[in-house]
Amino acid sequence: MLIDYHAKCIFNFKYQSGNITLNLPTLSDIQQAESRIREAVHRTPVLRSRQVDERTGCRVYFKCENFQRVGAFKFRGASNAVFSLSEEDSKNGVATHSSGNHAQAIALAAKMKNIPAYIVMPENSPEVKKRAVAGYGAEITFCEPTQQAREETLEKVVENTGSTFIHPYNDPRIIAGQGTSALELLQDYPDTEIILAPVGGGGLASGTAIAACGMKPEVKVIGCEPEIADDAYLSFKTGELQPSKNTQTVADGLRTGLGELTFACLQKHLHSIVTVSEEEIVSAMRYIWERMNIIIEASCAVPVAALFNDKIEDVKGKNVAIIITGGNVDLDHLPWE
Amino acid sequence: MLIDYHAKCIFNFKYQSGNITLNLPTLSDIQQAESRIREAVHRTPVLRSRQVDERTGCRVYFKCENFQRVGAFKFRGASNAVFSLSEEDSKNGVATHSSGNHAQAIALAAKMKNIPAYIVMPENSPEVKKRAVAGYGAEITFCEPTQQAREETLEKVVENTGSTFIHPYNDPRIIAGQGTSALELLQDYPDTEIILAPVGGGGLASGTAIAACGMKPEVKVIGCEPEIADDAYLSFKTGELQPSKNTQTVADGLRTGLGELTFACLQKHLHSIVTVSEEEIVSAMRYIWERMNIIIEASCAVPVAALFNDKIEDVKGKNVAIIITGGNVDLDHLPWE
């Protein structure tokens, strides 16, 4: 099932300037990302909960990217990608399509570099995210809420502005940036034995798995996915990249499918992928809100649900870290209402 | 307006064993409380938010008692009171009436001391609080949701069990315990210039003001209250203890009135009291949820609202701490719905 990634994983990125060919990111890329973005990102805290430890029989480390800038880990990858651009590539700005956290992250990173950001957002994006993106000074172009409309609109924006497209996950600079969260975690909590991360596009899971394999090969990184959006699970199982399922899982950050690059990273470095039901996700999310008094988005309730519902093998007594991806939730539409 | 508290503030506490007479608590009481409860409580973190600093023109330190055990500062006072009891007084357990955080706090402190806890709760208390109190092994007696029913029911419980009543705020051990939050804050952030705390029964505000006056007399401690529950404001202004207003402010922890002891503490040590509207409270609460991704209860959105709406004089450029009292919120009934 594992592929020879050095041979296979050479990609042309349609929207990047020139035809850059890329290998899978490595721990060294993550370390470089860490020093590149260190001044811009928050070194996020790790929280623990006595009640969670009692419930699970583990020591659980919550690496809280909901306290990251823009409220999500996405700022790590976005700032690494934007700060990596050459002066030449920077001058026409950056562009992306995103319904949420990646949009805000690119907008803020561009603002910090003082370059334009062009964001294509589905018109049904949560109000709070539209306001935040606009608040960072980005130019928003709204589109129909379909993948096709997003891509076509983006293509036009890039054509008109000469800006550089930054893909939300299928980009080695993004993956390396996302991996800095696990790098911090393993520096601060070197006794971590298992890391759980949700899998959507796979940027975070890839970066996390690369960081862990590089720093502590004995650490198992396990991806967690909604049952009704289990394309990564199926891809991992069959060894063939499966399309996303276009489902309406409550974990809205995980509706997207893997990219070729993230799939290759996961095949190389991930231990396994487990899935959970929608009910398990909502229940875990609410539990964390009520017991820990932190706001976490449904996407990162997925690994919590996996731990709560005995989906992780051989976990009792272990030190288990969960990457809490973010806390950007539309407070007018909570999933338990 | 200031009273000679040493002369005036000698109280008999109806439910305490014997007729104990008490002076106002001092910094030394708070320091003793701190060492008594240190192993039991969390030393809560201070969070900051770039967006809040930008909005207010201050450096704002959020002292996060929502990350305290039982999700609120109340555990500080409750554990200090319970751990202060003599072995003789402990053996029949402790009792209180409370619709929420104090109930949980007493229940947990009693559990840690391995003594019984008898809690009188209004039958309309939030489900999450009923479950939590029961979860700590306390015996709950439900009553009608009136002050009279609470007191009468409690009296019966105390009579039947021989337990010791621990008042939620009008008790020097409670006040000293609540003051340990400000003590930690001023140890960790000695450049604090102003501290904002909500005023309900006045236990937290009293402890905070005593700690600050003792440790750093130049620090102003300002109480914050809902406009529609401004009995402490009026008491402070008139120099006469005013009854609570029986209003339904969204800041449900602040519906209660001051006690004689807390009123005396506030008269002696508090700088001033300011008030905010219900809309200002809800808006500030939602802002903190959205921008900081922490769950705070409406009561501690009151000082946030005071800062956001220019109720605090001479505040620009200052280092302002806010005691975030807790995060126990009924997620089925959010105030912006």
The string of pLDDT tens digits covering residues A219-241 is 999 999 999 999 999 999 999 99
Give the HSE-up count for residue B197: Cα atoms under 13 Å, Cβ half-sphere. Answer: 33
CB contact under 8 A, A293 and B327: yes
Interface with chain B: mutation pick from A41, A290, A296, highest number of B CBs within 10 Å: A290
| pLDDT tens-place values along chain B, 337 residues long | 222 232 222 333 332 323 444 479 999 999 999 999 999 999 999 999 999 999 999 999 999 999 999 999 999 999 999 999 999 999 999 999 987 889 999 999 999 999 999 999 989 887 878 888 999 999 999 999 888 999 999 999 999 999 999 999 999 999 999 999 999 999 999 999 999 999 999 999 999 999 999 999 999 999 999 999 999 999 999 999 999 887 899 999 999 899 999 999 999 999 999 999 999 999 999 999 999 999 999 999 999 999 999 999 999 999 999 999 999 898 999 999 8
Which residue on chain A is closest to B292 by alpha carbon? A67
CB contact under 8 A, A293 and B289: no
Domain boundaries, chain A: 5-72+171-324, 75-165
Among the partner-chain residues B47, B66, B293, the one whose CB lies closest to the CB of A327 is B293
Among the partner-chain residues B128, B290, B337, the one whose CB lies closest to the CB of A290 is B128
Which architecture characterizes domain B14-73+171-324 according to CATH? 3-Layer(aba) Sandwich (3.40)
Among the partner-chain residues A67, A294, A336, the one whose CB lies closest to the CB of B295 is A294
Chain B hits for A290, Cβ within 8 Å = 128, 331
pLDDT (0 to 100) of residue B187: 98
Measured N-to-C along each axis, helices B127-135 and B101-113 cross at an angle, to the nearest 10 degrees, of 10
> Kindly report the CA angle at A245 between A241 and A247, in degrees rounded to 5?
155
* Fold agreement (A5-72+171-324, A75-165): yes
Which residue on chain B is closest to A290 by alpha carbon? B328
- Grouping H, G, I as helix, E, B as strand and the rest as coil, residue A66 is helix
pLDDT (0 to 100) of residue A247: 85
Q: Where are the alpha helices (DSSP H) in chain B?
A: 5-8, 27-37, 50-56, 74-84, 87-90, 101-113, 127-135, 147-161, 172-188, 203-215, 231-238, 260-269, 278-292, 298-308
**And the tokens for A31?**
């370390």
Residues of A with CB under 8 A from a CB of B: 45, 47, 50, 66-67, 69, 71, 128, 286, 289-296, 326-328, 331-332, 334, 336-337
Chain B hits for A286, Cβ within 8 Å = 331
Residue B146 · residue B153 · CB < 8 Å: no
CB contact under 8 A, B290 and A331: yes
H/E element, A136: none
CA distance to partner chain B, nearest, from residue A137 (Å)? 15
CA distance A241 to A235: 5
CA distance to partner chain A, nearest, from residue B178 (Å)? 20
Phi-psi category of residue B63: left, alpha or beta, with phi > 0 → left and psi -120 to 50 → alpha: beta
A2 contacts: CB under 8 Å, gap ≥ 6: A267, A268
Q: For residue B336, how far is the Cα from the chain centroid?
A: 24
pLDDT digit string (tens) for A312-329? 999 999 999 999 999 989
Pairing state between β A272-276 and A164-165: unpaired
CB contact under 8 A, A128 and B290: yes
**A5-72+171-324 — its CATH code?**
3.40.50.1100
**B75-165 — its CATH code?**
3.40.50.1100
Interface with chain B: mutation pick from A288, A290, A293, A332, highest number of B CBs within 10 Å: A293
Q: For residue B153, how far is the Cα from the chain centroid?
A: 23
pLDDT (0 to 100) of residue A15: 27
Among the partner-chain residues B67, B296, B331, the one whose CB lies closest to the CB of A290 is B331
Q: Which residues of chain A have pLDDT under 50?
A: 1-22
A7 contacts: CB under 8 Å, gap ≥ 6: none
The DSSP symbol for A100 reads S
For residue A26, with 0-12 CB atoms within 10 Å meaning exposed, 13-18 middle and 19 or more buried, which class applies? middle
Burial B154-167 (b: 16+ CB within 10 A, else e): bbebbeeeebbbbb
Residue A287 · residue A304 · CB < 8 Å: yes
Among the partner-chain residues A69, A128, A293, the one whose CB lies closest to the CB of B295 is A293
Chain A hits for B104, Cβ within 8 Å = none
Among the partner-chain residues A69, A295, A337, the one whose CB lies closest to the CB of B289 is A295
H/E element, A174: helix A172-188
CA distance B199 to B206: 9
CA distance B100 to B93: 19
pLDDT (0 to 100) of residue A146: 85
- Grouping H, G, I as helix, E, B as strand and the rest as coil, residue A21 is strand
